[in-house]
Amino acid sequence: MSVEPVLSVRDLRVWYGTQRGPVRAVDGVSLEISAGETLGLVGESGSGKSTLGRGIMGLLPDGAAIDGEVRFRADQLVGLKARKLRSIRGPRIGMIFQEPMTRLDPLMRIENQFLETIEAHEPDLTRREQRKRALEALGGMGIPPTRFRQYPHEFSGGMRQRIMIALALVLRPALLIADEPTTALDVLVEAQILSILADLRSHFGTALLLITHNLGIVAGSCDRVAVMYAGKIVEEGDTSTVFAEPAHPYTRELLRSIISLRTTGLRYIPGAPPDLSDPPAACRFHPRCPNAMTVCAVRDPVEVTLETGQRVSCWLHGPEPELREEDTSPLERKTFAAADEA
């Protein structure tokens, strides 16, 4: 892997404007991905995973605001002019979307969708070269040339997802963002797609951000994992370490919720993810946390790096398990006293 990361995100924030006020979908996220590395991004639905992926790509809807730093090699993407950003999307950063039928034009043959993409970014190629490039990309996904001129509705769900992957890879990007690439697919097709993504990493050094809620996929295919809750990364580290020794209570509860052949009873995290237009004060997980302390409802947790290399934001691992009285404000001391009496 290269020393310099392919992607470096620093304190990224994304807000959506609503009638109830701003929705803080991504709130101070930092992460890095190197060439040939796969980072798994996990968390419950509504935690901000897809918004983070789209924020990196600059594919946010009208009414959204973004702040922070997204550096792709030498380019700072936040605030970049639209024309320059479009020249990076596709040939340098590709994205696999969650539902292929929302991205493939139902009125266009597969051939035309590929040729249009290649023409937009590599206009100097002849039509024959463009067609050859498209056929190579589709062939790498197991799509035969005989189906090149068919329409999207003539393919199964798994085949459409392969076409989406081929469309993302036809321009040979250095970074690939895959947003739930195996959702609603059977386990055989899921395994085939994950194998294809692994081959990209090993043969071409592609950096991959894999957004998913499936912890089993992360365990089998990711080098590192970042756990996201309510717009924030609460834990990040090597996949084997995080799965063996989860440091954040949210990570532990997610892992306990996995169903296996040895499962005798269903486990779940009580409650629901918070409304991001009005999130809980301080640690956003504290209303659902089995290890919540008084300080968790008053002060934001401090991110620390453990001896195992994990980055975790939790007062269980903070500089002090409890705050000293002289470090707190009068309002915080009053809140502590009220909580202790309760």
In the predicted model, what is the mean pLDDT of residues 7-36?
94
Confidence check: pLDDT of 42 > 70: yes
CA dist 46 and 228 (Å) reads 10
CA dist 6 and 244 (Å) reads 28
pLDDT digits 0-9 by tens, 173-230: 999 999 988 876 778 878 888 888 888 888 888 999 999 988 989 999 999 999 999 9
For residue 232, CA distances in Å to 140, 173, 246 come to: 36, 27, 17
CA dist 29 and 10 (Å) reads 6
Q: At what angle do helices 157-169 and 187-204 cross, to 10 degrees?
A: 10
Q: Tell whether 163 is covered by a domain.
A: yes
Do 28 and 232 contact (CB within 8 A), yes or no?
yes
Number of domains in the chain: 1
Domain hosting 136: range is: 105-172
Strand partners, 178: 96, 210
Q: Tell whether 332 is covered by a domain.
A: no
Residue of 326 and 17 predicted with greater confidence: 17
- DSSP structural state of residue 4: S
Take residue 63 and report the two structure tokens written for it. 């009414």
In the predicted model, what is the mean pLDDT of residues 89-113?
89
- What sections of 222-322 are H helices per DSSP? 239-244, 249-256
Query: What count of residues does the chain have?
Result: 342
Confidence check: pLDDT of 341 > 70: no
Q: Tell whether 122 is covered by a domain.
A: yes
Q: Tell whether 168 is covered by a domain.
A: yes
Per-residue confidence band for 336, with pLDDT thresholds at 50, 70 and 90? very low
- What does the pLDDT read at residue 297? 93
Per-residue confidence band for 99, with pLDDT thresholds at 50, 70 and 90? confident
The dihedral of CA 188, 191, 196, 197: what is its sign?
A: positive
- What does the pLDDT read at residue 324? 42
Instruction: Return the ∠ at Cα 283 (arms to 281 and 288), rounded to 5°.
Output: 100
- What does the pLDDT read at residue 3? 63
Q: Tell whether 135 is covered by a domain.
A: yes
- What does the pLDDT read at residue 165? 86
Report the share of the chain in percent with pLDDT over 70. 92
Confidence check: pLDDT of 337 > 60: no
Q: Tell whether 261 is covered by a domain.
A: no
| Alpha carbon 99 to chain centroid, angstroms | 15
Q: Tell whether 255 is covered by a domain.
A: no
- What does the pLDDT read at residue 320? 59
Q: Tell whether 162 is covered by a domain.
A: yes
pLDDT digits 0-9 by tens, 129-184: 999 999 998 988 888 999 999 999 999 888 898 898 889 888 889 999 999 888 76
